[in-house]
Amino acid sequence: MSQENVELVRAAYKAVMLGEWDLAEETLNPAVEFHGTVGGIWQGSVMRGLQQIWQAIHEEDLDAWDERRFEPQKFIDAGDRIVVLQHEFRRGKGSGIEVENDTAITFEVRNGRVIRIRAYMDRAEALEAAGLRE
């Protein structure tokens, strides 16, 4: 089942981070939760359901950035949790300031759908949350 979870999360990552709505409906539980980035400005916030997640990531977040790219580097199997190590690039709207970070996201899977997503500024924290070590 774990390899199936990895493949599901590959599709869910593409859906959420790259904005493919139809794929999101196929891979995410309708009541999915997206927890704000640990160590980031959204820490402590929780978006519930596809509409709230879409609005936060693809509408509100884009108000601050002219360009934004998420590049998955590795999908790590931790059973019902998959950790995605990624590289982020952003260029500020108006300022042109560029920011690059190596971050991580955990996806929790239950019954063939993603039920919880949590982003982390610190990769080691994401791995630890999934019961793994760097």
Asked if residue 28 belongs to a domain, the reply is yes
Which one-letter amino acid corresponds to residue 73?
Answer: Q
Asked if residue 134 belongs to a domain, the reply is no
Q: How far apart are CA 121 and CA 55, in angstroms?
A: 21
Asked if residue 13 belongs to a domain, the reply is yes
Q: What is the pTM of this model?
A: 0.89
Domain limits for position 54: 2-129
How many residues are listed for the chain in this entry?
134
Contacts of 21 (CB under 8 A, 6+ apart): 15, 50, 54
Rg (CA), the chain: 14
Percent of the chain at pLDDT above 70? 95
What was the pLDDT predicted at 60? 62
- Predicted confidence band of residue 2 (pLDDT cuts 50, 70, 90): confident
Considering its fold, how many domains does the chain have in total?
A: 1
pLDDT digits (tens, 9 = 90+) for 23-60: 888 999 999 999 988 877 777 889 999 888 888 776 66
Task: Kindly state the DSSP code that residue 112 receives in the 8-state scheme.
Answer: T
CATH label of the domain that carries residue 46 = 3.10.450.50
- Predicted confidence band of residue 93 (pLDDT cuts 50, 70, 90): confident
- Using DSSP's 3-state secondary structure scheme, residue 132 falls into coil
Contacts of 100 (CB under 8 A, 6+ apart): 87, 88, 89, 90
